Structure 1
Amino acid sequence: MEEISVITAVLHPLRRRILYYLRLHGASQVTVLARGLDAQVGSISHHLRMMERAAVVERADAPDGDGRASWWTLSREKLSWSSADFDDSPADALLAREAERQNIRGQIERLQRYRRRPDDEIAEYQAFSTDTIGWATPDELRDLQARVTRTLDEWRDAVDTGDGRHREPVFFFAHGFPTEI
């Protein structure tokens, strides 16, 4: 279970973008992050410090040994939570539910931005949508989450980014939840 401080540290949309950038590109300088995310250096530094307090990112040594530049890296690979994890604390449960809402909103906005891109920009990539419905106990739903996460990790880790082929960042999201028919 995540600490609520970690969840609130990654709520801000720019912080999520920083995490995605570091996941895709590895350790980066503040100025490179600012340029890559079209943000001010001071803003990036502020958000990095907020996430550092929650142990989501950490300072990194410069690859060239130059200590004058500020380098940052992820201090963990994944974040996962459910608002149900915080049922014993109404205030924390409220924050966790808001984090879930913001995640969903951000995921839908990302999909909508993709759909607005001109066809000739995305012709090579065939996006997909998938869903299903079935029966599950709470334990079986947790098992599904673990299986999907393992599959995504295996897929991501199997891609050889050093082979010289052109790649675009790919975003995948799925939700599994009890529903009514």
Structure 2
Amino acid sequence: MPDKERDRRIKDLGTLKALAHPLRSQLYRALSIARTATASQLAEQVDEAVSLVSYHLRKLAEHGLIEAAEPQSGDGRERWWQPASDGVSIRDEDFRDAPEKAAAHTAASRLFFDQRADLYRRFLDERTHWGEEWNDAAESSEAVLRLTAGELAELNKELLALVRRYDERGRAAETAGDTEGRENVAVHMYGFPFRT
């Protein structure tokens, strides 16, 4: 397979709605973490029936979000899946030209935020099981800055570039066989204006 695109930019309402389904977004995240998986493996992770998971994987594939992967075992009955890109980006500017599109973008953004918040809540609930090293490394902070819209855009671009460098470093290390002590790490960034 050729190199994956870095972040597929979702611009159409159909693809946004396909990904904004709660189970589909959960499956997309699980598949992004696993890199390749079968419907059976993913069904076990999300505690759903294999037939239901298979249906939703096909819907994600119809919109080009995931694709068939090379089989990872000798069982020819198994269908393997992988993300079609290294990630997705969804920008407000692509959905603000019609009320239906803006509403769908807002609903999708809320779903993704809720799922991220649930992931962080799970970490907080399980914090004692992660040990001192991971607890010392984990971070939760807030900075209130006085910026222009242009400065916020520049800050977001720099933060994303930094996260990508660490992602590439981790992937390269794993490819080289350095898996000792590596865990999945979620980095959530939100930068938005507000008034008091």
Counterpart for residue 37 of structure 2? 28
Match of 1:105 among 107, 114, 125: 114
Task: Give distance in 2, aligned partners of 1:139 and 1:65.
Answer: 53
- Comparing 159-168 with 54-63, greater Cα deviation is found at 159-168
Tell me the SS of whatever aligns to 1:117. Answer: helix
Counterpart for residue 134 of structure 2? 125
Counterpart for residue 53 of structure 2? 44
Task: Give distance in 1, aligned partners of 2:89 and 2:149.
Answer: 16
- Comparing 21-30 with 97-106, greater Cα deviation is found at 21-30
Task: Give distance in 1, aligned partners of 2:84 and 2:150.
Answer: 29
Share of identical aligned residues, percent? 26
Classify 1:6/1:145 alpha carbon distance in 2 versus 1 (closer, same or farther; 3 Å).
farther
Which structure exhibits the higher relative contact order, with contacts defined as CA atoms closer than 8 Å and separated by 6 or more residues?
Answer: 2
Counterpart for residue 137 of structure 1? 148
Q: Structure 1: state its 5+ residue gaps.
A: none
Q: CA deviation at 1:45?
A: 0.6
Amino acid at match of 2:15: V
Classify 1:167/1:173 alpha carbon distance in 2 versus 1 (closer, same or farther; 3 Å).
same
Task: Give distance in 1, aligned partners of 2:148 and 2:94.
Answer: 17
Runs of 4+ off more than 6 Å:
none
Is the counterpart of residue 174 in structure 1 residue 183 in structure 2? no
Task: Give distance in 1, aligned partners of 2:73 and 2:115.
Answer: 36
TM-score w.r.t. structure 1 length?
Answer: 0.87
Counterpart for residue 90 of structure 1? 99
Is the counterpart of residue 78 in structure 1 residue 93 in structure 2? no
Amino acid at match of 1:122: W
The answer as to whether partners of 1:84 and 1:93 remain within 8 angstroms in 2 is no
Q: CA deviation at 1:84?
A: 4.3
Amino acid at match of 1:102: L
Counterpart for residue 152 of structure 1? 163
Q: CA deviation at 1:48?
A: 0.6
TM-score w.r.t. structure 2 length?
Answer: 0.81
Task: Give distance in 1, aligned partners of 2:52 and 2:147.
Answer: 44
Task: Give distance in 2, aligned partners of 1:76 and 1:178.
Answer: 30
The answer as to whether partners of 1:29 and 1:72 remain within 8 angstroms in 2 is yes
Task: Give distance in 2, aligned partners of 1:21 and 1:109.
Answer: 14
Amino acid at match of 2:146: W
Tell me the SS of whatever aligns to 2:88. Answer: coil
The answer as to whether partners of 1:17 and 1:37 remain within 8 angstroms in 2 is yes
Amino acid at match of 2:120: L
The answer as to whether partners of 1:87 and 1:93 remain within 8 angstroms in 2 is yes
Amino acid at match of 2:187: F
Q: CA deviation at 1:30?
A: 1.7
Q: Structure 2: state its 5+ residue gaps.
A: 1-8
Task: Give distance in 2, aligned partners of 1:80 and 1:39.
Answer: 27
When the two chains are superposed, the root-mean-square deviation of aligned CA atoms in Å is: 2.0
Number of equivalent positions: 180
Tell me the SS of whatever aligns to 1:125. Answer: helix
Q: CA deviation at 1:64?
A: 4.8
Amino acid at match of 1:143: E
